[in-house]
Amino acid sequence: MSKKYTLDLKEVKLIDLQLVGGKNASLGEMIQNIGDFGVNIPGGFAITVEAYDEFLKFNKLDQAIRLLMDNLVKDDLVSLRKTGLEIRQLIRNGEWPKNLKEQIKTSYFKLSQRYNQDGTDVAVRSSATAEDLPDASFAGQQETYLNVRGPEQILTSVRNCFASLFTDRAISYRNNFGFDHFDIGLSVCIQKMVRSDLGAAGVAFSLDTESGFKDVVLINGAYGLGEMVVQGTVSPDEFIVHKPTMKKGFRSIIEKKMGKKENKMIYSTDPGTLVKIVHVGNTQQSEFCITDEQVLQLANWVCIIEDYYTKNRGQWCPMDIEWAIDGLSGDLFIVQARPETIHSQKKDNDLVEYVIDQRSEKKVRLNGIAVGDRIGQGKVQKMYSLDGRDGSFDGSNFNKGDVLVTEMTNPDWEPVMKKASAIITNKGGRTCHAAIVAREMGVPAIVGTENGTEILLNGDEITVSCAEGDNGKVYEGIIPFKIRKTRLNDLPKTQTPIMLNVASPDLAFKFAHIPNAGVGLAREEFIINNFIQAHPLALLKHKELGDNELTESINILTRGFKDEETFFVKRLSYGVAKIASAFYPKQVIVRMSDFKSNEYSKLLGGKYFEPSEENPMIGWRGAARYYSEEYEYAFGMECKAIKRVREKMGLTNVTVMIPFCRTIDELQKVYGVMKKYGLERGKYGLKIFLMAELPSNILMAEEFAELIDGFSIGSNDLTQLTLGLDRDSSLIAHIYDERNTAVKRSISNLLKAARNSNTKVGICGQGPSDYPDFAQFLVEEGIDTISVTPDSMLKTIKAIYNIENKSNKTKKL
């Protein structure tokens, strides 16, 4: 009886990995076990590893391949290229055994009949037995062919998949990770196509790919077939969904970033080609490729798949998933799913930080999307191809430690990428194959710079920093940096809760790994300055100003949003939500905007709406703005953003803080405006804190305490206003000292008044981390929480622990 060389995907499971490879095994497992949850997975069949073995045996290729591999010179790119080409050519020239050929044709005809088509369109994907293992990412090492139709195209594509087991990248990758080339078999997946050429497609991860933060789904997508997102040849849209609140029924999309999406891959009707790349219209480029409903549906499916694999493996199993939306039916499909292989394999609990020297003069040459969190340095070496056929630099001469600068890498470039100190590309997103490979190799990469190959010159010495958030920076010259490693398990536990001051939403997921009791201060100013960039009143009134340049800039900023107000509310809510989700369900105290007039005027269009003040530090700032006729509506948009975070996204761990509030009357007026725009103390558990930074806040502490849920001491302003000095003036900087007796006495008085009314008091200034004696004073006075910047967190924990330990010993004596 002849062997069965094809199996319907409904017949295979994960336990069949050695027979059908990782991709097929995973698809079959999902079809059988996850379909009941409503997850759509296209049908298909697997051509088994035994079929691959039979093909090699029939054509007597096994010994020929072994001989060529034995003569391969390791780490020699010329030898690698020559060997790979010869092996692939041998396989492509092979003939099909009759029985095997007939089984493949029969299975294809059955699949076509299932979809009521004579010769249905399919994807032909390689499925290696080492692919998608939990300890190595073989994703993208072999080939995929799309829009394949008819038995002859199927057979040609399958044979090409067999050959792709020996692409240069696959050979190099196996060498690099110690896999035996002949221990790996190849199966092929024949799967019904989803007409995403008329819709959209992309990649989704069930974690944050840079920090490994577990509680989000990261989605990248673009128009057309998904290969362009996977390959990184398009800058995709990006969406982030918070899993815990989504599972509670909230619409918790906490981030939306629009990519360029200039081109898309579609079906080709041209002879000899299966697909082609066409331009995307300008209108579509200015829209997100999928709706919020589709984002949430996809995120829910990702969680279902992650939960299933986690239960099946008995340990957390984050997933790397490819998805597609059929443009004809509008239905969403999962077309691939594999275990994530980087963060899930990290065993230690160490915090490793790459810290750029902030004291050095730095000139930013270029920005892009950061991949990883490291820093790399070296000389620029631009490449446009691996073989130099286009007249550019030849990859065989790429020096170890150079910075690779190119249009876009792909997995073929792996032999060069592993020699680079850093990688910079014009195109791509942080979920493409090249980014995954760079991340796995520990090479910092900045992708999607758009014009890196134009701006950077060969031989330039540069520093590539991925250690400062999602925004990767390329600095001119070699900038000093440090690597700090902390064993988190060795940190002591303090009695006083230590919270974090978090400015950048882009760093929130990374900071969430640091031991903390929540966020004591998240400033809206940073979010407005970086996420919104325009003055809120300029957004609302720019068309009335007659400034065409301003209007054009605002139109570019707000593309993809219904109107300017929606842009402000949603962008601010995304920034706040990203911080709140990183620390959920711990308390996150968000301070409403506290720009001064000279700072507001620097925002886009701000010059039209800001007064010129002699001393902005004690002028029109904080609470005074919120209820003013001129600014009330702008503050109302802030309230709408916070309401959206808490009530639509479900992040009720957000506490609001009012800054620079001079009087009880001011606070009550602010409450009136907040209520008008949907925020009310106590409603849905909303707590409101007051920034205690004015002498009036201290002197009237008991009266303020009746109207709030807590104080947060702003020691910077409290010091300058208690001592009557301008902290920005260098002439009197020597007087500025948070440890001054007058300042400490004010804090003591506040703590006493707060205790009498059972009101919480924290501090969010830098003093406790800079001065151990000041920290000791706060602990002894009974401060409820201390909040410091992340770079001070570890030393503050140790200092507070020592103070508490010393105090406990003294009490016992």
Active site residue 764: yes
Residue 398, phi then psi, degrees to nearest 5: -70, 125
CB neighbours (10 Å) of residue 468?
17
Question: Helix, strand, or coil here: 33?
Answer: helix
Could you tell me if 376 and 403 are in contact, meaning their C-beta atoms sit under 8 angstroms apart? yes
Distance in angstroms (rounded) separating the CA atoms of residues 683 and 448 = 43
DSSP label at 399?
A: P
Packed helices 49-58 and 98-114: angle between N→C axes, nearest 10 degrees: 150
Pick from 273, 280, 84: which is nearest to 167 by CA?
84
Output helix, strand, coil percentages for the chain, rounded to the nearest 5: 45, 20, 35
Phi, psi angles (nearest 5°) of residue 113: -65, -35
Pull the structure tokens for residue 398: 């790429």
> What are φ and ψ of residue 414, in 5° steps?
-50, -40
Tokens representing 709 are 């849920």
| Residue 781, CA atoms < 13 Å, CB-side half-sphere | 23
Q: Which residues contact 526 (CB under 8 A, 6 or more apart)?
A: 503, 504
Amino acid sitting at position 468: E
Peptide bond into 244 cis (omega under 30): no
Catalytically annotated residue among 433, 466, 535, 639: 433
Beta strands in 616-673 (DSSP E): 654-658
- Could you say which DSSP state residue 15 is in? G
- Per the CB < 8 A criterion, the answer to whether 531 and 574 are in contact is yes
| String of DSSP letters for 151-181 | HHHHHHHHHHHHHGGG-HHHHHHHHHHT--T
Establish whether 289 is a catalytic residue. Answer: no
Q: Which residues are catalytic?
A: 433, 764
